Structure 1
């Protein structure tokens, strides 16, 4: 307790008294989460607003051996929100570090602090007429960019980590690292044109790790340009051949943008209307000039002929007749808006609708309001191959039926050879038995996928330690060794880093 008191006193001196809270009610709020993971012990909440203040936080933590855990906005819904994997810790809330430092329209990147939300950056780009867009997720306007990128989230243009051009990070040992050419003398020239820089490319070292607190990133932006969105339906019996055809079309350069395939059953994360009987739905984005897009539509239609139904191509540059059905029109607008870099609160509205409520005035209240549904999910990666996706789908479906836990399936392209699979499900947060059953089902689903060689791409705060224990080998020992060098006092709580001791 003496060390904690000294740490809190030191943090108040470094940040100001108002930026350090030990109010039990406020700490309890940070522990609440939409998935009903057990709260962790928190010493305090710290709110730095600059790089120097983050360094001050770390200096005090090293001097007192009191651990800290950084969050950007704490809206990591389904995986633990603001919770660390282990407590007790002091939570470092970076939401106040929300400056958009630079936008380079020529080389298409943004330099942003860790508290910048996707709604904030999207509005900034639009208001300043940049003709650039952000790779957004469907998680809402107030969710963090940096937190999601560093947790390997997937946006509507693909894997977000692919957009990571640079990282500024305060290490556990007190050093400050800027990756690539960013650490070299500033001569007023562009330094983010070549992200690897000279020497080891350190960007990946700070993705899903606990080696430091990231204070800024450099993020690739994308041009706002006409595009074509193709949608179609796939019967279960044709799923394997269609997925293989889509992979080949992507490999051949026919598909130039993102693609998603979903069973369309999720009551909240909805991009398509319901059909009976249920069939798979797909969305494919085609980029390029008009002639390229038109030829790609023809070629894709030819390749999928006889394997799909309701093949529709909508080009944003041409005159399109919107769907007559209001719901279909809204869904089409939602799909197009996300591809065009406009974040949406439709997911939050869907959460509230399930409980017959309106959207909370602050979306963080989703965690606090137990009248709203509980949500958990598994997020995995698998090879971009029809047989592997069909096998994954069978595991999810069989496990869900056995547990009587309806689970939707959404697959998205993640690079040239991989798919991400996202499998959310819902439960009653006020029913202790329902909470326990949902968590047991989540653990069972992850273990069965793992037994099938389908591994997580992101993990929740309760699952990662058990996964590391099961898979302990030289990889994790290497991670632990790096951790001992960059954070020798083990003051940083990191979800994907083995627990070490000094």
Structure 2
């Protein structure tokens, strides 16, 4: 037997479809640029090694017309496509399509225009490739005092991609999809869509139109390619003050959670959010000294006029009194003083120890909370890797740099007993798989936390399999306790759709009407097989 023939993979029906599509795209000058094989392979790197790697084509797109032409070619070839914005969805699959099912990746990162900006209302209209850093530079050039909706993923990540994934931060509109006033999209059949109140040249200032609200069907979904998004920005307040507190004992977790809820709901302060992080999370981001030997460290942010924020310190002190070992307040003035003093030995002893030890980390965190994106939190992704974090985070890319990262991100009720149950279950489950969990609770509403647990590991096949097994166990056991994830890795769409059958039945009915041939992202937030009798066996056939 010919050895070469026995070791090379046999062509499949999907290979034939891709060849047909590739020929059509190369013969068309209006449908974008097909990137080379090496660039395409780099684009598909993830923060986890996968046993089944797809071989999709990658098409660099510059405008909506190219999207429409590319979709027409895909329909004609019987192909599937998956759009990505910046493709930096690290820990959730990066640029991978749902369950790896796609013949063509539409790379929208070159669609990076800021189409309009109302400097009175703070309304900005952007394309998919516009990043946090790009918007920050744009606002700075204009002298516009509005805040960028920042995240821990850093300045090179797409605003639109994060909003469509329902990401969040700690600037005043913490739930980033809540800031979406409208959008434009192209359906799989090539038909344009625009939100009800975004029909004119000037973006509308209100998200709800007349009749059914439809923009939500493009969030965590497929069926269309979103080409524009209108976002409401919040004005930069006179004062952004961060507060940091340390818990001396783990048993104080429950009462501290209750105090956090009271601050968010009854204090009368404009609190962007509060994070409560265990020692493992703090050490991964800022080093062991930042914990001051405490099991939990909290950070929060207050926005407002100087005198209001100053008065709010008393409210925060009262809420946390008797529950924390130490409490510090950080603003532009204290940071300026600390930065000056750290270089002057005679004054160094006058700076509080926590600020002196963490001036760089606290300063970077304060920048993000103030709506200035930076890569400070991204160094967490490098904690399980031998690769050092790039200086100042410049050029940091965990997928390209060989980092191992998977996220577990469930919703946890903001109650002390729920937090205690959650921490115990996560710690126990992670230990079974050889992980020490870096846990964060982030206030997402007046009643709910989003908790994020990054699984950090050397990126190889064995450790990737161990991490994925741990993630599946966390999802299953967490669900049994009532902790449902709000977001899933691209390869875990079977887990995402395994609960709430009534919800997914209707979602699939809507999707089938919008994209009857399952052209756009067929495996993304959709059941792995056609369990509801719509286009039977379609998705399974596409994965061959």
C-alpha distance in 2 between matches for 1:318 and 1:24: 51
Provide closer, same or farther for how the CA distance between residues 255 and 495 of structure 1 changes in structure 2, counting only shifts above 3 A: farther
Whether 1:153 aligns to 2:142 is: no
C-alpha distance in 1 between matches for 2:205 and 2:289: 42
Return the match for 2:152 from 138, 142, 145. Answer: 138
Check whether the contact 2:149–2:176 (CA below 8 A) recurs between aligned residues: yes
C-alpha distance in 2 between matches for 1:37 and 1:222: 40
Provide the residue aligned with 2:386 in structure 1: 355
Check whether the contact 1:61–1:67 (CA below 8 A) recurs between aligned residues: yes
C-alpha distance in 1 between matches for 2:82 and 2:111: 16
Provide closer, same or farther for how the CA distance between residues 28 and 153 of structure 1 changes in structure 2, counting only shifts above 3 A: same
Q: CA deviation at 1:156?
A: 2.6
Provide the residue aligned with 1:415 in structure 2: 445
Return the match for 1:104 from 87, 106, 118. Answer: 118
Provide the residue aligned with 1:452 in structure 2: 481
Provide the residue aligned with 2:280 in structure 1: 265
Return the match for 1:212 from 191, 215, 224. Answer: 224
Whether 1:251 aligns to 2:281 is: no
Instruction: Using the TM superposition, name which of 321-330 and 435-444 deviates more.
Output: 321-330
Check whether the contact 1:264–1:271 (CA below 8 A) recurs between aligned residues: no
Return the match for 1:402 from 432, 456, 466. Answer: 432
Provide the residue aligned with 1:221 in structure 2: 233
What TM-score comes out, normalization by structure 2 length? 0.84
Whether 1:496 aligns to 2:525 is: yes
Return the match for 2:136 from 101, 115, 122. Answer: 122
Return the match for 2:315 from 287, 292, 299. Answer: 299
Whether 1:164 aligns to 2:180 is: yes
The gaps in structure 2 that reach 5 residues or longer are 1-14, 339-350, 539-544
Q: CA deviation at 1:96?
A: 0.8
Return the match for 2:415 from 373, 385, 407. Answer: 385
Provide closer, same or farther for how the CA distance between residues 368 and 311 of structure 1 changes in structure 2, counting only shifts above 3 A: closer
Instruction: Using the TM superposition, name which of 339-348 and 114-123 deviates more.
Output: 339-348
Provide the residue aligned with 1:232 in structure 2: 245
Whether 1:55 aligns to 2:68 is: yes
C-alpha distance in 1 between matches for 2:380 and 2:505: 43
Check whether the contact 1:84–1:495 (CA below 8 A) recurs between aligned residues: yes
CA RMSD of aligned residues (A): 2.5
- Partner of 1:265, secondary structure, is helix
Check whether the contact 1:72–1:144 (CA below 8 A) recurs between aligned residues: yes
Instruction: Using the TM superposition, name which of 290-299 and 359-368 deviates more.
Output: 359-368
Check whether the contact 1:411–1:422 (CA below 8 A) recurs between aligned residues: yes
Check whether the contact 1:173–1:489 (CA below 8 A) recurs between aligned residues: no
Check whether the contact 1:180–1:192 (CA below 8 A) recurs between aligned residues: no
What TM-score comes out, normalization by structure 1 length? 0.91
Provide closer, same or farther for how the CA distance between residues 247 and 405 of structure 1 changes in structure 2, counting only shifts above 3 A: same
- Partner of 2:525, secondary structure, is coil
- Partner of 1:478, secondary structure, is helix
| Equivalent residues, number | 493
- Cα distance per residue 1:222-254 (max 9 Å; x no partner): 212212222111232222112112212221243
Provide closer, same or farther for how the CA distance between residues 356 and 26 of structure 1 changes in structure 2, counting only shifts above 3 A: closer
- Cα distance per residue 1:294-350 (max 9 Å; x no partner): 222212211221112211123446897425665410121012100111111234556
